[in-house]
Structure 1
Amino acid sequence: MTIHSTALTARPIIHITKGLKHGPITRLMSPSDLGQIVKPFVFLDLFDVSGPSVPALSGMPLHPHSGLATVTVLVDGAMRFDVPESGTGTISYGGVEWLKAGAGVWHGKEMLVENVPRIRGFQLWLALPAELENSEPESQYLEAKSVPQTGPAHLIIGRYASVKSPVPAPEGINYLLVTLAPGERWKYQPPLGHSVAWLALAQGTLDAGTPVTAGQMAVFAPGEAPIVFENRGKEAAVFVLGSAVPHAYPLHLGSYSVHTSAQALELGERRIAELGRTLRDAGDRRTPSGTIPVWR
């Protein structure tokens, strides 16, 4: 659905999608559709599981990635990490799991769902630039207390309003988790060069020049004009917001990989195949709490 409006903001929304729903997961963006428009942001899932199904999220199979980074944030609930190099802790609202797959990793069980009635959040993929796509993998787990805030936003990735996220993401990318109370208004001024911008709403309703409702993703027109958000609803509006300098490379896609060239994709897929063989030979790697650290 294509929409044009300048009622509230100088940066109009040009596209709104409700994605494709598969059970508790709504795929709002993939590298073959909107990811081509808002790259380096190339994939976005909104997951929402409640009741007896919550423990099933911990049953996700191990799977590989290369050439990209994954970013996981929660809106509701909590997940526990237990990682030899990072210690133990809990990711909840405002916290983040950052995983730069780079040259290749296998993961999927490095965090376990806590005993909560509902788990809801976003998983984002970022396409890495050529100099990082086959680099050494790295992961980081930050509890909410370690993620800086600016106004109503937690700065998950990037620099904004004199605040810098500790996540070691590439320059030129901002990713924020925002909650606006009923009646609250907030203006986001993208940094210089951030002509890509989008939002995805997990809860409530939001006016950003065009109304956006829970479960939708909206893409803004290219440019660097400010974006004004207003919550005109009766409950908190909770959303993620991304802005970035455009990714300057074509997307070369594998089943779990995103690279800048066919040659880089071949290197990445060869590496994750090798890692898969060594992972099988490694046997049971579970920690005492039941997590399985990222294999790299």
Structure 2
Amino acid sequence: MSYNNNNVIQEPRPVVRKFLARPQHEGVGAIVRRSIGRFELKYFDPFLVLDEFSVSAPAGFPDHPHRGFETVTYMLQGAITHEDFEGHKGTIKEGDLQWMTAGRGIVHSEMPAAKGTQRGLQLWVNLSSKNKMVEPRYQEMMSKDIAEAAKDGVKVRVIAGEAMGIKSPVYTRTPTMFLDFSLKPGAHLQQPVPASWNAFVYTLEGEGIFCNSRSSPITAHNLLLLGSGDGLEVWNKSSKPLRFILVGGKPLGEPVVQFGPFVMNTQEEIDQTIEDYENCNNGFENAKHWRSESINGLNY
């Protein structure tokens, strides 16, 4: 995939569905705008959840488990501290990234690490049946280490995948692209996306015209599901900057059975996961006596 202003997109992907992500409560006192993983769109293969979260202490996401997928946390404002039952602890700040493979099992917490409001995006990426029980793994990148490029009023931060001739070092078990674009007023973008992948846009700031130059402008907090084609085309015809993410992934084409923070292929696997978690077995051994430091003293 490469960036080029000279007709790189032969068949722009159309917007086939649009959702405004409305605020809802999640975790303990946190507010999220959920666009994937809600009633109208429970799954967009291979993506399980997309949340734009907003949280202020003492609210947050205290100790909770995962199995069978990856969580991608990308900070837009403030800072979040992550701890897990393996002893891993770290804080990600504005512009930083954590790509966590939960695999066979993680219990962790995600809590505010700064005053005021912490904002960010969290994406859940499903894992194929052959990868669901891999060992947990982390890839964390500070903002200064995320690859960036700019040309003709378009700036991109390459969280995963490739754009404008630069690549991210992040390894994705499920082939995925995650691009953070900013367009100055008057800018125009063409970004290739593999034709066989599913792809979507989530708007963060400003307003943009997507896929068809005669379309109505789309404002912040909207999810745009893209149809078939070989890429995305965007115009910023407004007087303010436009910011959005473009995310694409190779569909797994496998059954999905979800029970809260557990995502497997069959109900039997979900039942086994619940049993493993309750009995602290098969990847959840350390859950028996662990409690995160960040919530000690808080009444959760």
Per the alignment, residue 100 of structure 2 pairs with 99
Per the alignment, residue 5 of structure 2 pairs with none
Please give the alpha-carbon distance, in whole angstroms, between the structure 2 residues aligned to 1:164 and 1:112. 30
Within the candidate set 145, 153, 158, 1:155 is matched to 158
User: What are the Cα deviations for residues 107-138 of structure 1, in whole angstroms up to 9, with x where unaligned?
Assistant: 123x54323x4322211111111111111111
Q: Under a length normalisation based on structure 1, what TM-score does the superposition of the two structures give?
A: 0.79
Deviation of 1:188 after TM superposition, in Å, equals 0.8
What residue identity is the alignment partner of 2:194?
A: P
Please give the alpha-carbon distance, in whole angstroms, between the structure 2 residues aligned to 1:127 and 1:168. 14
Per the alignment, residue 64 of structure 2 pairs with 63
Within the candidate set 243, 258, 263, 2:263 is matched to 258
Please give the alpha-carbon distance, in whole angstroms, between the structure 2 residues aligned to 1:252 and 1:82. 27
The alpha-carbon distance between structure 1 residues 175 and 67, as it changes in their structure 2 partners (threshold 3 A), is same
User: What are the Cα deviations for residues 64-90 of structure 1, in whole angstroms up to 9, with x where unaligned?
Assistant: 111111111122233356789877554
Deviation of 1:227 after TM superposition, in Å, equals 1.1
The alpha-carbon distance between structure 1 residues 274 and 141, as it changes in their structure 2 partners (threshold 3 A), is farther
The alpha-carbon distance between structure 1 residues 266 and 22, as it changes in their structure 2 partners (threshold 3 A), is same
**Do 2:79 and 2:91's aligned partners in 1 also have CA atoms closer than 8 Å?**
no
The alpha-carbon distance between structure 1 residues 257 and 280, as it changes in their structure 2 partners (threshold 3 A), is closer
Structure 1: gaps of 5 or more residues = 1-8
Please give the alpha-carbon distance, in whole angstroms, between the structure 1 residues aligned to 2:288 and 2:87. 22
Per the alignment, residue 213 of structure 1 pairs with 219
**Do 2:127 and 2:174's aligned partners in 1 also have CA atoms closer than 8 Å?**
no
Per the alignment, residue 248 of structure 1 pairs with 253
Per the alignment, residue 6 of structure 1 pairs with none
Per the alignment, residue 11 of structure 1 pairs with 13
Within the candidate set 228, 245, 270, 2:275 is matched to 270
Deviation of 1:161 after TM superposition, in Å, equals 4.7
What residue identity is the alignment partner of 2:113?
A: V
Please give the alpha-carbon distance, in whole angstroms, between the structure 2 residues aligned to 1:80 and 1:204. 29
Please give the alpha-carbon distance, in whole angstroms, between the structure 1 residues aligned to 2:148 and 2:273. 35
Per the alignment, residue 206 of structure 2 pairs with 204
How many aligned positions are there?
270
SS of aligned partner of 1:235: coil
Deviation of 1:235 after TM superposition, in Å, equals 2.7
User: What are the Cα deviations for residues 184-227 of structure 1, in whole angstroms up to 9, with x where unaligned?
Assistant: 22211113532x1101112211110343211111101133x221
Deviation of 1:262 after TM superposition, in Å, equals 3.2
The alpha-carbon distance between structure 1 residues 157 and 245, as it changes in their structure 2 partners (threshold 3 A), is same
User: Percent of pairs identical after alignment?
Assistant: 22
Per the alignment, residue 234 of structure 1 pairs with 239
Please give the alpha-carbon distance, in whole angstroms, between the structure 1 residues aligned to 2:114 and 2:291. 22
The alpha-carbon distance between structure 1 residues 247 and 229, as it changes in their structure 2 partners (threshold 3 A), is same
Q: Under a length normalisation based on structure 2, what TM-score does the superposition of the two structures give?
A: 0.78
Please give the alpha-carbon distance, in whole angstroms, between the structure 2 residues aligned to 1:67 and 1:120. 25
**Do 2:108 and 2:292's aligned partners in 1 also have CA atoms closer than 8 Å?**
no
**Do 1:44 and 1:123's aligned partners in 2 also have CA atoms closer than 8 Å?**
yes
Please give the alpha-carbon distance, in whole angstroms, between the structure 1 residues aligned to 2:17 and 2:171. 30
The alpha-carbon distance between structure 1 residues 279 and 136, as it changes in their structure 2 partners (threshold 3 A), is closer
| Larger helix share, 1 or 2 | 1
**Do 1:67 and 1:259's aligned partners in 2 also have CA atoms closer than 8 Å?**
yes
Deviation of 1:254 after TM superposition, in Å, equals 1.0
Per the alignment, residue 42 of structure 1 pairs with 48
Per the alignment, residue 176 of structure 1 pairs with 179
The alpha-carbon distance between structure 1 residues 171 and 164, as it changes in their structure 2 partners (threshold 3 A), is farther
Moved more, 158-167 or 238-247: 158-167
The alpha-carbon distance between structure 1 residues 56 and 204, as it changes in their structure 2 partners (threshold 3 A), is farther
**Do 1:158 and 1:171's aligned partners in 2 also have CA atoms closer than 8 Å?**
no
**Do 1:106 and 1:275's aligned partners in 2 also have CA atoms closer than 8 Å?**
no
Deviation of 1:148 after TM superposition, in Å, equals 1.4
Give me the CA root mean square deviation: 2.8
Moved more, 130-139 or 159-168: 159-168
